[in-house]
Structure 1
Amino acid sequence: MVLGAALRPLVVADAPDSPAALDATAIAFVQDMVAHHEQALIMAQQLDPGTDPVVVRLAQQIRDAQNTEMGTMLGWLRLAGVTPTNPEPMAWMRGPRPAPGHGHGASDAESSDPMPGMATRADLDALAAARGHDAAMLFLQLMQRHHVGGVAMAQAADERLTDGPVRRTAREMITEQSQEAGTMALLLAQFGAPLLPVNAGG
Structure 2
Amino acid sequence: MTDTSTLEAPLPTASASHDRRPAPGRWALGAAAVVAAIGLVLGAVVALDGDRTTATPAADSADAGFARDMAVHHQQAVEMSFIVRDRTTDENVRRLAYDIAQTQANQRGMLLGWLDLWNLPKTSTDGYMSWMKGGGHHGHQMKDGSLMPGMATNAELDQLRKASGKQAEILYLQLMTDHHMGGASMARGCAQQCDVPQERDLAQGMVDAQQSEMNLMTDMLKERGSAPR
Does the CA contact (< 8 Å) of 2:63 and 2:190 recur in 1? yes
The amino acid that maps onto 2:57 is L
Alignment partner of 2:123: what SS? coil
Equivalent residue for 1:63, pick from 89, 101, 108? 101
Distance 1:183 1:5 in 2: 7
TM-score by length of 1: 0.83
Equivalent residue for 1:4, pick from 21, 27, 33? 21
Is 1:166 the counterpart of 2:183? The answer is: no
Does the CA contact (< 8 Å) of 2:128 and 2:136 recur in 1? no
Does the CA contact (< 8 Å) of 2:218 and 2:228 recur in 1? yes
1:75 is displaced (CA, Å) by 0.5
Distance 2:73 2:136 in 1: 18
1:112 is displaced (CA, Å) by 4.4
The amino acid that maps onto 1:4 is R
Equivalent residue for 2:174, pick from 137, 141, 159? 141
Alignment partner of 1:152: what SS? helix
What residue number does 2:52 align with?
none
Alignment partner of 2:21: what SS? helix
Higher RCO, Cα 8 Å, sep 6+: 1
Percent pairwise identity: 33
Equivalent residue for 1:13, pick from 14, 17, 35? 35
TM-score by length of 2: 0.74
Distance 1:13 1:145, change over 3 A: same
Distance 1:68 1:26 in 2: 18
Is 1:39 the counterpart of 2:72? The answer is: no
What residue number does 1:79 align with?
117
Unaligned stretches of 5+ residues in structure 1: 97-107, 197-202
Q: Comparing 49-58 with 77-86, which one deviates more in the overlay? A: 77-86
For these two proteins, the number of residue pairs brought into alignment is 184
Equivalent residue for 1:22, pick from 50, 54, 57? 57
Distance 1:164 1:112 in 2: 29
Structure 1 residue ranges, 4+ long, deviating more than 4 angstroms after superposition? none
The amino acid that maps onto 2:128 is P
What residue number does 1:91 align with?
130
